[in-house]
Amino acid sequence: MKTFASASVWIFSAILSVLSSVVYADPPVQPFYAAVMKMTPEGKLGQVIKQEPIATSVKGAQAWRIAYISSDISGRKTISTGLVVAPIGPAPTGGRPVMTWAHGTTGSAQNCGPSQVINPAAPLNEYFLVGGNSWTDYGIPAVEEFIKEGYVLVATDYQGLGGGGRHQYGVAATNGMDTLNAARAAVSMKETGANKKTLVYGWSQGGGAAIALAGMPEYIKQTGTAADNLDIIGFVALAPQDISILAPTGKLDQAAADKYFQGLQKMFLDNVFNFTHATMYYWGTQAAFPNLKLSEVFTDEGVKVANEIYSNKCMHAASDTFNFNYGSSFATLLKQAPANTVAWTQAMQKGGVPVVKPVAPVQIYFGSKDTAVPPMMHKLYQEQICKLGGNVGRMQLPGEQSHFTTPGSSKPFYLAWVKDRVAGNPLSNGCPVN
């Protein structure tokens, strides 16, 4: 999870054979995912191609692991895995609203999907906090409260985290597509009793996915899916990451692209934790845009190490590996003067959050002590989108909240906001008054 947890979340690798003769085997996964990884991504967007019931500790709920069809920023079909949790018993007349959850940074290897942990259909459990009981973040925020309200919940793992292929970490548009297609999957399952009223919520990496999806009306309106015409009524973004908002505006030339990269390295390479997020974002971006080469950003040793680590390890093990092997010299794995920066910047912009009026209201929550995703990111997003006529609210949470306390401290506020959207209550414009 940690989502962009360091404000970085970056570029990633796809055609490894172009870069190295070494073949990196996927880490071991449970039988469900091993079977899915042998499947081909054929079918309608949101089509469930494999499912199995699983136990859940959530009172009054039933749950399933699923694999479903999605696609990426380049238009390629993919397979994503995830969880569906729904109330037990007959649905009320009109069906149940859907909440689709986009998680924060967990890593980039096939075994990093949150649905793969023991008892995944549970309230959000953060490894970083006291009370965390796993090596990663997993679970669904406010799942117990939403089940009591009679909602259906679905939580994508994202492509590449259990369904085969290379995870496009931090490529917000692709992550947003996975989040939408998860909702289509949940609606298509007769067992859930879902209707088409849908809300999107996400944190960090997933917060970026949520606001990216808000600006993708054409993708949302596609027909011929497993569940056409979803009625999306709101987006909740917890400390959303959006690297693309920092990209140069106006004409993109070599000098602007070089300056952008220099700024990113200064911002995100101050410690090994941020370095891991940043370089994983590079690895993920390269996976989304195979015309790019990791050797343009990494040294020869860096390419080899990044491929080995990110193909096999999840976020925190990856960070520990860099720290153990390189100590304070981890930045030597990157080139001091990256090449092809114009193309890299263009890819980051294309895969990032679109500067487009959202299809429904957006509400952002953040902490004043967030050093993982700089609040300036979503402040700039709000400013740009409000100028386009969008309704984007942005709330600094009470107290001194960090990136990792944001989900818990924001819960009372977004629960009320979501309930009002489902009820159709009026919503004032959240944009700042000039």
Secondary structure letter of residue 397 according to DSSP: P
pLDDT tier, 246 (very low <50, low <70, confident <90, very high otherwise): confident
Write down the pLDDT at residue 263. 87
What distance in Å separates the CA atoms of residue 117 and residue 140, rounded to the nearest whole number? 13
Helices 315-326 and 272-288: crossing angle, nearest 10°?
A: 120
- Cβ-based burial of 384 (10 A; exposed 0-12, middle 13-18, buried ≥19): middle
What distance in Å separates the CA atoms of residue 317 and residue 328, rounded to the nearest whole number? 17
**What average pLDDT score do residues 1-22 get?**
35
Write down the pLDDT at residue 265. 83
Q: What is the pLDDT of residues 153-188, one digit of tens each?
A: 999 999 999 999 999 999 999 999 999 999 999 999
Q: Judge whether residue 24 has pLDDT over 50.
A: no
Percent above pLDDT 70 for the chain: 94
Write down the pLDDT at residue 25. 55
Q: Judge whether residue 13 has pLDDT over 80.
A: no
Q: What is the pLDDT of residues 191-210, one digit of tens each?
A: 999 999 999 999 999 999 99
| Both structure tokens of 327 | 């100590």
Task: Among 7-21, 253-267, 345-359, name the most confident range.
Answer: 345-359
- Which position has the higher pLDDT, 374 or 107? 107
Question: What's the mean per-residue pLDDT of the chain?
Answer: 93
Q: Judge whether residue 67 has pLDDT over 70.
A: yes
CA-based nearest residue to 291, from 336, 247, 248, 344: 344
Hey, what domains does the chain have and what are their CATH numbers? 16-245+349-423 (3.40.50.1820)
